[in-house]
Amino acid sequence: MKKIEEKAVAFAKSIWEDYLVNRDLLKLTKVFDDNASYIGTGDGEICYSLEQVRAALLGEEEEWNGHFTIDDQWYEVRVMSNEFVVVFGGFDAHEASDNPLVAAMHTRFSLTLRVSGDTFKVVHLHHSVPNFEQLEGEFFPKTITEKRNEEFRHALEQKTNELRRMAQLDSLTGLLNRVSVEQEINTSLEQGAEGVLLMIDIDDFKGINDVFGHLAGDTVLKVLSDRIRDSFGGQSIMGRVGGDEFVVFAQKTAGRDSIGQTAQQFCERVVKPVMDIPDCSITVSIGIALAPDNGSTYSALVRSADQALYERKKNSKNGYVFAG
């Protein structure tokens, strides 16, 4: 860097040091040219004369007497003639304070300097803060209309995703519906997963509806859904596939005995009374199919589990049985 350019950068640095770090605003009033002008970051922060620049600096000193620390800074110089030099750059700074909610600056500037021998005077200073909403490569920041359109698109996308998810769920229980549970289980099986499918059916559900009413029946379905979530949550795929039929599919991570133990524990947990319906308790029967032993598609596994479930109900209820 040539000598005049080095001196110009040093001069520009000293201005920001005095303005931010030392807060020597009186000293700063002496670096401006008699015909100085200034544009700051505020909407009305424009000075057309040296008197206005000095008044603005001294007025700022009365409003705030804190200090900043400069974290990062860069400078470029353009020598316009023997008489004028332009220095432009930017810096990041934060308020030197123990307060965690400190003020911070990310700013850019340009200085037009008049050169006289080894002396510099500021003819014009332009100080600005970038618009963070302006994207890289975007010449103009977004207009208010564009911002509102973007907000609308975002809200519409969220609502669309919400509706799409709602369409996948059973409206009564909040579990996956029949179509969605089949799609998700098939997707898992296509990836080569070894899995366990449980077909869960409420024993004598028709009797519950007949004795306690259909609203009570809906409550029972919701209660059972909650108990399924509590017992098989995590990575399991859970859905309601019929009036009182539920499917749970999970990765096979244990042997047959452990799977049977889990199914039995669930049967025992289900027997707890339904709090909102006095004298009502429920039991379930479970048919269990293993992938790939009993099939490698949803349809095959459900068919095997359903046959096992039928055998269980024919002999005795409130328990589980594995598909053959």
pLDDT tens column, 160-204: 888 888 889 999 999 999 999 999 999 999 998 789 999 999 999
Rounded mean pLDDT, 92-108: 77
Model pTM above 0.85? no
pLDDT class of 231 with cuts at 50, 70, 90: very high
Query: Which residues are annotated as catalytic?
Result: 244
Question: Where in the chain are the domains?
Answer: 3-128, 178-322
Pair of tokens at residue 70: 């400069």
Sign of torsion, CA 199 313 262 229? positive
Please state which architecture CATH assigns to domain 178-322: 2-Layer Sandwich (3.30)
Identify the band that residue 25 occupies on the pLDDT scale cut at 50, 70 and 90: confident
- Of 304, 300, 306, the closest CA to residue 285 belongs to 306
Identify the CA nearest to 83 among candidates 110, 124, 114, 118. Answer: 114
Task: Find the range with the poorest average confidence among 113-127, 131-145, 241-255.
Answer: 131-145
For residues 120 and 26, give the distance between their C-alpha atoms in angstroms, rounded to a whole number: 17
**What average pLDDT does range 68-85 have in this prediction?**
93
pLDDT reported for residue 207: 92
Top-level CATH class of 3-128? alpha beta
| In the chain, % of residues over pLDDT 70 | 92
Most distant pair of Cα atoms in the chain: their distance: 108
Q: What is the pLDDT of residue 142?
A: 58
Taking only the tens place, the pLDDT of each residue in 195-230 is 999 999 999 999 999 999 999 999 999 999 999 999
Residue 84 phi, psi (nearest 5): -130, 140
